[in-house]
Amino acid sequence: MIRLHCTKKLLVKLPCDADGRLKSRRGVPPAAGDVGESPLSGWHANLLLLQRRQCVLFVHDATRFPVFVPALKKEELAELDWFFQDGFMNTLLKVGADDRQMKAAEKLLALLVCDNDCNRSVQGTLNRMGQDLDLMLAYERASVMDLSPYKTGAWLAERPCTAKGVRNCIWPARAMLELLGS
């Protein structure tokens, strides 16, 4: 399983069962090796409202690696497992992951288990990335509907992040590729 710490705003909208699993209509996503907690576990997610569209931004706790899912409809929130896995794998491709890292990521993917235990340091990164997206859309006069989610995630991953208790900046793309390489 992959533990997903959601903001209250997102958790209210997710159709979760008592265990925190999403009630999907598609069934189990392709990468559902759900044998305990995955080394990829530990993500935070926030529901962003960009140009009146519901978007979800995920950030990995340790590496600050982002996954961006734009313009989700209410009924699509139940399929967040699928959107997360698709966004994660394709964003990895955009940041230059090799075959070995892609296979490692595929093996480590599992079902999401949602809760609302949040880390303020990661939430700060989520907020800053959300503000960067909003500013980019305003500055370029772009539409959120025209954004490529994978390219946008890669753009966010190529920026340095700070974390509480970490002396140097974290470069999310580099840190995630190192995690998958080990």
Mean pLDDT of all residues in 79-87:
94
Whether the CB-CB separation of 162 and 169 falls below 8 Å is answered with yes
d(CA 29, CA 83): 10
Mean pLDDT of all residues in 37-46:
91
Whether the CB-CB separation of 10 and 47 falls below 8 Å is answered with yes
Encode pLDDT of 154-173 as tens digits.
999 999 998 888 888 999 99
Model-level pTM?
0.90
Structural domain harbouring 139: 2-181
- The H or E element containing residue 13 is helix 8-13
d(CA 67, CA 157): 9
Task: Please report the pLDDT score of residue 141 as a whole number.
Answer: 94
Joined together, the tokens standing for residue 95 give 């940041």
Domain count, the chain: 1
CA-to-CA separations, 107 to 16, 116, 163, in angstroms, rounded: 24, 26, 27
Mean pLDDT of all residues in 14-31:
73
| Mean pLDDT computed over every residue of the chain | 90
